Amino acid sequence: MSSLQIADREFDSRLIVGSGRFPDPETMREALRASGTEMVTVALRRANLNTDEGENVLKYLQDDGYFLLPNTAGCYTAEEAITTAKLGREALGTNWVKLEVIGDDETLFPDVPELLKAAEKLILEDFVVLPYANDDPITCRKLADMGCAAVMPLGAPIGSGMGIRNPYNLRIIKDLVDVPVIVDAGVGTASDAAIAMELGMDAVLMNSAISQAKHPVKMAEAMKKSIEAGRLALESGRMPKRLYAKASSPEEGLIEVDREEQ
């Protein structure tokens, strides 16, 4: 499977995983290992990096060697998101940011005007911006044109597990932009991830699909395999769809049979 290139970094895994909502830190660590991910997101405003047991989740992630991607989850204005991104740069020593600017608590859909405003300002301050966006081709094209390192359209609402609800828009987005397209949010099971990859997406970001599974470590392994299978299928080139049947065995050289004698 080919590698994933985002800005100046290259990743062997096309699966990005969030670090929140796991039952405990050890389950998180085992699931992340099973997923094969190299990049892990950290929600600076929402995630409690210190558990009740006093175990430092951030230290675990750093010790395990993951590339940490701070995100601005929980921000509702461009200014909140910009401030949080700067805090992430100070805390984690990276200018990368997964940019989220949420419109409301019900849908957790992005606030597009605020998102565009925040992205533009952060790019001017030399951030590598990966914005969480609606599955809207025009919004994604604007984000890519202004200099975002990737665009991250939702597959379905955050935490819904509804899968890929609008594959046609995702394909249009992929055609319109020249940066990686990463499906972010909505994946519920392994087949959803495979579908995203078969559609031509460059990667998939997920959290709840793994952390909220009955067996997170097993689901993480399933997601790893589904990402690999979906990408391999895309690179292989599927057979064309046909309305009518076509025999899989050769039709030339068939043994002559007199049907009237049967």
Is 208 among the annotated ligand-binding positions? yes
Strand, coil or helix: what is 114? helix
50 labelled as ligand-binding?
A: no
Q: Is 44:57 a contact under the CB 8 Å cutoff?
A: no
Asked whether the beta carbons of 132 and 100 are under 8 A apart, the reply is yes
Look at the alpha carbons of 173, 40, 132, 206 in this order and tell me if their dihedral is positive or negative.
positive
Which amino acid appears at position 9 of this protein? R
The residues carrying an active-site annotation are 98
CB atoms within 10 A of CB 154: 25
Give me the amino acid identity at 227. Answer: I
Our CA dihedral for 241, 246, 251, 256, rounded to 10 degrees, sits at -170
169 is in an annotated binding site: no
185 is in an annotated binding site: yes
To the nearest 10°, report the CA torsion of 25, 110, 183, 9: -70
Return the axis-axis angle of helices 216-236 and 25-35, rounded to nearest 10°.
20
Question: Strand, coil or helix: what is 262?
Answer: coil
- Containing 9, the helix (H) or strand (E) segment is strand 9-11
Residues at the binding site for 1-deoxy-D-xylulose 5-phosphate are 159, 185-186, 207-208
